[in-house]
Structure formats: C-alpha cells, structure tokens
Amino acid sequence: MSRVAVVLAGGKGTRLRPLTDVVPKPLIPIAGRTIIDYIIEWLKLNGFTKFIVVAKYLGEQIIDHFKHSSEVRAELLDSKDTADAVRLVAGEISEEHFLVSMGDVLCNADFNAFYEYHVRRGDVATIALKEVDNPLPYGLILIDGDSRITLFTEKPKSIELLILNTAHLKLRSKSLYSNLVNAGFYMFNWDILRVLEENNGLMDFGRHVFPYLLEEGYRVNGWIMGEAYWEDVGRVESLKKATWDLLDGSIAGYRPLGEEYSPGVYVGRRARIDGTVIPPAYIGEEAVVEYGAVVGPYVSLEKGSIVKAGARVSYSILWRNSLVGEGSAIHDSIIMNDAAVLRGVKVVHSIVGSFNIASANLSEAVIEPRGG
C-alpha cells in the first residue's frame, strides 16, 4: 500500500530575507542538500512512497528541482494558504490516510509510528506535537489524558499563554506535558478532503481547520514526538542552528552530502583541500580551500565555492560559486550564490547577497551586520 505525503512549499519565507529573495525557503541549502530534500528523504525512510509538493512563491525553481523525480510530483498552484493547498490537490489523493508536511522543518521523528498511531486511532486528524521551552512562536495545544486535543491556539500572545497555562494546571492530573506546540506535520483520513470541499473559507490549518474541527465535535488527536530533533528553519538564526546541528551529528539519521574525509569533515566530489579544515565542516562538490586558508569549525561550503589563500572562515555558510578572497575573514555570516568577498575584507554577523561584491580600498574593511 502506498503512503502519500503532501509537502507544502509555497510560503514566501519573509523572516529569511534576503536569502528568500532569490530562492524559495524549501530550496535553501544545508550542507549539500536542500531543506525539502532532507524532509523527503527522511519520509522515504519512514515508509512514504509518493510525494505531492505544492509550490507557489518562486515555485518555478521547485518545479525545476523535481523535474526528473519519479516519486515527487511538484505543482505550481495559486493556493491561498496551507489548507487551500491541500484542497487544490485533493483529486490526486486516493489513499485513505495521508500526511501533510511543512516544507521548512527538519525533524527526525518516527513518522512510521506517527502514521500507524493515526490509523489505529481512526479519527479525522492527528497533529504531531513537540514540547518546547517557549511556545509563543508556535501554535500551542492542550491535550487530555487520552491524547485528544482539547484546545488549539495559533501563535498565542503572552496573556493568552498565561490563561492557557492556568487551564493546563487543571488538566495536570490527566496530561504530563505542557508547552506542546504544533510541529507542522499532520495525519488525516480522507474525510478531511470532504470538510475542505464543503467549507471553502477554511484556508489555513492552524488558524481555521483545527479550530473548526474541534468546534464541530470532530475528534482530533495529538501525537507527541518525544525527544526527536525538531527545528523550524524559518529564521536566519534557526537556519544556522540547524546547519551546525547537522554538521556535528546532532540530528540522528541525517548527515551532510559527500564522504567523510576525516572525522567530522564531509567532502563532495572533485573538491580540493590544500588548506586547513577544522571540524565539523562540509566542503561541497568542486569547492576549493587553498593553501594557507583555514575553514571551520562549523562551516558549510556549497558547490563551487572558493576560499583563497590566507582567508579564514568560521561559523559561516557559503552558497554556490561564492568567493572569499586572500586574507579575508568571514565569521557568523552567510555568503550567497555568486557573491564575492574580495581581498582583505572582514565580514562578521552579516549576509552578503547574491551577485554582490564586498571589496576594500584599505587594508581591512568591515561589512556591518544587516538588520532583521
């Protein structure tokens, strides 16, 4: 029996700008693969065999990315939000149960167990839940002792959180968890497609669909993923964190592309390393680290990037075909596709946009941090 996953990849990724000015968020690279590739590969390992990727913003790039795949069908659709995206591809879903996944979350939860749990419970929807320290950026959820969701609120404000935590104390004897948030993975049975068809105003799962289901008396379950790794790669800092976690082996089951050249150093095909690489690091296909250059720790060089002699790169990400000139220093920064940091430039806590050139007339220049 085939298992289908609908991967939602249409968001603008405004919190990741300027990175998402040139690529859609799901195609942002992390150590040789895109975010969405990691998601799909992990779902394959968990028994999913058919993938429908719904794209919108810069969607032509996503269509092109999957054009040779036999397992992934990518579609460019004018969806209004997450639930509307699933509504638009409903005709392609024949399976009794299916997964909906956000296209910007790295997670190594046991999705096979998630699927089986949902099927066993037999209800219309099951939401994957993660316990976090600060639930404010996410949808906060309360469950009863039978793991049924009793309350769902999307990105609560501080006063709402206080009220919800007070309510949670009354349920404490039934639930051992607090600060459970919507992890961005949903299992549905086919009935949800009928609900979406009959209620065209339900556009977003978090804001509309789940509150509607609870109000109408549908049983919606929560599945707690426990200690599984989970990172919403929706901000520059969370993107860096996910990259560092991947490089140092903190995400069980995930690894950078390429071969392990030495402990903690992964190297792609036709890469050339003449300088020093301090682990953990990823040196991508056809990337070059020249003699006298020092790269690492926590550095990812994508395909074709070059670090010239005497340069120093640490805690940074270089996208495709980027250049770091002789004697330059890059720290805690992202250098985007086809950008160049010329000789003697220091870049700290910054982003150098695609096709930009950072140069210096003096012996040293500093690229000041960007806001946002």
CATH number of the domain encompassing residue 195: 3.90.550.10
**pLDDT attached to residue 151:** 79
**Does 121 share its domain with 149?**
yes
**Does 175 share its domain with 276?**
no
**Does 219 share its domain with 70?**
yes
**pLDDT attached to residue 149:** 86
**Does 29 share its domain with 93?**
yes
**pLDDT attached to residue 141:** 77
**Do the domain assignments include residue 241?**
no
**Does 201 share its domain with 303?**
no
Low-confidence ranges of the chain (pLDDT < 50): 156, 158-164, 166, 169, 171-176, 362-372
**pLDDT attached to residue 75:** 94
Taking CA 280 as the corner, what is the angle to CA 278 and CA 286, rounded to the nearest 5 degrees?
80
**Do the domain assignments include residue 176?**
yes
The residue out of 236, 267, 302 marking a domain boundary is 236
**Does 208 share its domain with 272?**
no
**pLDDT attached to residue 45:** 96
pTM of the model: 0.88
**pLDDT attached to residue 369:** 47
- Give the number of domains in the chain: 2
**pLDDT attached to residue 357:** 87
The residue out of 201, 236, 271 marking a domain boundary is 236
Domain that holds residue 289: 256-367
**Do the domain assignments include residue 208?**
yes
Who contacts 8 (Cβ-Cβ below 8 Å, separation ≥6)?
54, 82, 85, 86, 100, 101, 102, 103
Tens of pLDDT, residue by residue over 127-182, are 999 888 765 655 567 888 888 888 777 654 544 444 445 455 454 434 445 678 88
**Does 103 share its domain with 41?**
yes
Q: What tokens does 118 get?
A: 């949902």
**Does 125 share its domain with 33?**
yes
**pLDDT attached to residue 361:** 57
**Do the domain assignments include residue 76?**
yes
CATH number of the domain encompassing residue 328: 2.160.10.10
**Does 185 share its domain with 136?**
yes
**pLDDT attached to residue 146:** 84
**Do the domain assignments include residue 248?**
no
**Does 162 share its domain with 206?**
yes
Other C-beta atoms lying within 10 Å of the C-beta of residue 61: 15
**Does 155 share its domain with 38?**
yes
**Do the domain assignments include residue 183?**
yes
**pLDDT attached to residue 145:** 81
**Does 69 share its domain with 198?**
yes
